Amino acid sequence: MNDTTWQGRTVLVTGAEGFIGSALVDELVALGAHVRALCHYKPYGAAGNLARYASDHRAELLAGDVRDPFVVDEAVAGVEVVFHLAALIGIPYSYTAPESYVQTNVVGSHAVVAACRRHGARMVHTSTSETYGSALRVPMDETHPAQPQSPYAASKIAADAMVLSYHASFGTEVAVCRPFNTYGPRQSARAVIPTILRQLAAGADEIRLGSTTPTRDFTHVSDTVAGFLTVGSSDAALGRAVNLGTGQEISIGALAELLIQVSGRDARVVVDEARLRPEASEVDRLLSDNGLARSLGWEPLTSLEDGLRDTWRWVLGTDEPGSTRYVV
């Protein structure tokens, strides 16, 4: 499957209502794909980030749960490529409810890859840079050891192994995208960048954070989406994990100062002990080696400063929700 266009293809996106998932749906629709969007069932029926597609034939909204193999089988039947983004995310909650992460992230991913095997669909599975834990060497390429420093990370390591085993065992077309700290419009306030920006937008003169010393490799959502599409159309990615990061790092403290600068507000950073992770669980450094992704034809195009300005405009509401155009 070397054709890099998506015109006329039928694809499934799980976790489609989420931050990255909804951006991916937007781009696939813009590129001419017919998209099935599987979202977690809600009894009140809200479509959230995908509300615009409620009466748009280009996207078919499905409600269900990836832990249910019957729902997943029906969703996968007849599609060419499955982008599997559905997951229980958020590190702090995984300390409280680790079994929930196993069920959604491991059992759910198995349901998806098993359905892909039955129906002959290609699967692009979503991993996370948290699987690497604190850097043992930098930059971190795909051979960096996995280190489960939280139940969340452990569940994603297990899910990665499960889906890749289907490629090795059965020849199922599987590739793994491993994003590094994606940020941008629509991201929930649980993440550090929208947390800081929302405090600034509310007029706070103190920005309350957990540890400010860890470093991260922040990737704008438009670049992450482009990476998913590159991996999804690349035969060379099959059976492999592919890092999607910029190859640049910044400490959380320096990031906060940059966000204050971007916002034009006057504030200072304060460490809030209630926001600190357990000491052994904190990932101190993440910095990607994106050489493999570049060899497939992908490169990050959005600078951190430009991406933060884009996110700040979204937080202020000066852009309509979802107005960002995600270009490959």
Q: Give catalytic residues, as residue numbers.
A: 152
* Residue 29 CA: distances (Å) to CA of 24, 57, 182, 220, 319: 9, 10, 21, 20, 20
Report the alpha-carbon distance of residue 319 to residue 328 in Å, rounded: 21
Closest C-alpha among 158, 164, 155, 219 to residue 19: 219
Q: What is the DSSP string of 280-328?
A: GG---B--B--HHHHHTT------HHHHHHHHHHHHHT-S-TT------
Quote the tokens at residue 7: 């015109």
* DSSP assignment of 79-111: -SEEEE------HHHHHH-HHHHIIIIIIHHHH
Tokens of 199: 């405090």
Considering all CA atoms of the chain, what is the largest pairwise distance in Å, rounded to the nearest integer? 57
Q: Is residue 139 reached through a cis peptide bond, with omega within 30 degrees of 0 on the bond before it?
A: yes
Residues in the chain: 328
